[in-house]
Amino acid sequence: MEILRALQEEATVNSRFAEQYPYIKRLITGELFEVQEALKQKVQQNVEYHFNQAINCGGYALKVDTCVFPSDADFDTRVSGILDNFPFVRLLGDTELQEDEYLVLYRARRAGHHFIRIEEDGTVTEKNGSDEPQKFQDWETLRQAPEAVFAVKKEHDMNYFKKRGSIVIPEENSKNFEQTVWEAMQNRKNTFTYHNHNYRLKKATEETIYICSGEEIVAEMITNGEEYDLEIRPEKERYVSNTQPKRPIVIKDGKCQREETHIK
């Protein structure tokens, strides 16, 4: 056909047109359904490519359409910021992973941070910058960094931050445990929540406040109303942080070794 010959000649000198020529040829020769399917596949590939270019390790692990950059704060404050900003994320702690959740591990220190995602089959995946997602290799410089284990809802709003108009977390009002207790006192609140735990304040003396979980004292604060000193009881430090589950998540050769023990 003359028209096909002309189009083929154009494709040899026009690289952009050359990409479309195979589809146009199939359309002209009557392969309409095949072209539709091929174009849909091409569009999907382009969407996935540009999506991967636009997100970092946090966006990939939490399945949101933006980069996640926790601020330069202490580890607990970073974790609090993630929980504050993503209502579909909770700390696993010593609870069980539910069927509608998947696991995300997060490590951070001053030098950097990284998120990794554990798939349903136990495969651990990660994404570095604008690179393609890959099988998890190693924590590298974060081998000794503290780790938070998140349970993330499988079904959630991927466009969450576009609606919020923000891409950077945590928010400026994200606080660590000390700051959260102090804010509750300043606002005359007898109860507050931190890292999935409920706490209440109990006055012991004029200057001593107990911070309780149920009937147990987890910390105490000495304050004159203007300044304060808070001390978490050593045996309750892990409970307050609530990042590590009782059964550590073991990763070997890019595979989660004990995933089944965390699923209820």
- Let me know: does 72 contact 184? Beta carbons within 8 Å: no
The better pLDDT of the pair 216, 159 is held by: 216
And the tokens for 78?
């970073």
Which residues, 6 or more positions from 161, have their beta carbon under 8 angstroms from its beta carbon?
A: 64, 65, 66, 167
Q: In the predicted model, is pLDDT for residue 157 greater than 90?
A: no
pLDDT single digits (tens) 102-140: 999 999 988 789 999 999 899 999 998 778 889 998 998
Residue 17: predicted pLDDT: 65
Q: Which residue has the tokens 């040829």?
A: 25
pLDDT at 232: 96
Contact 223, 211 (CB under 8 A): no
Q: Is the pLDDT of residue 68 over 70?
A: yes
Residue 186 in tokens: 């300043």
- Residues of the chain with pLDDT > 70: what percent? 77
The tokens describing 74, both together, are 């202490």
Strands across the sheet with 147-153, in order?
89-91, 147-153, 101-109, 112-118, 124-126, 134-135
H-helix or E-strand spanning residue 10: helix 2-13
Which residue's structure tokens are 């091409």?
42
Cα–Cα distance for residue pair 245/239, rounded to 1 Å: 10
Which range in 11-15, 29-33, 180-184 is most confidently predicted, on average pLDDT? 180-184
The alpha helices in 29-147, defined as continuous H runs, are: 32-54, 57-62, 75-85
Q: What is the mean pLDDT of residues 137-159?
A: 91
Cβ contact 81:72 at 8 Å: no
d(CA 262, CA 94): 9
DSSP 200: E
pTM comes to: 0.75
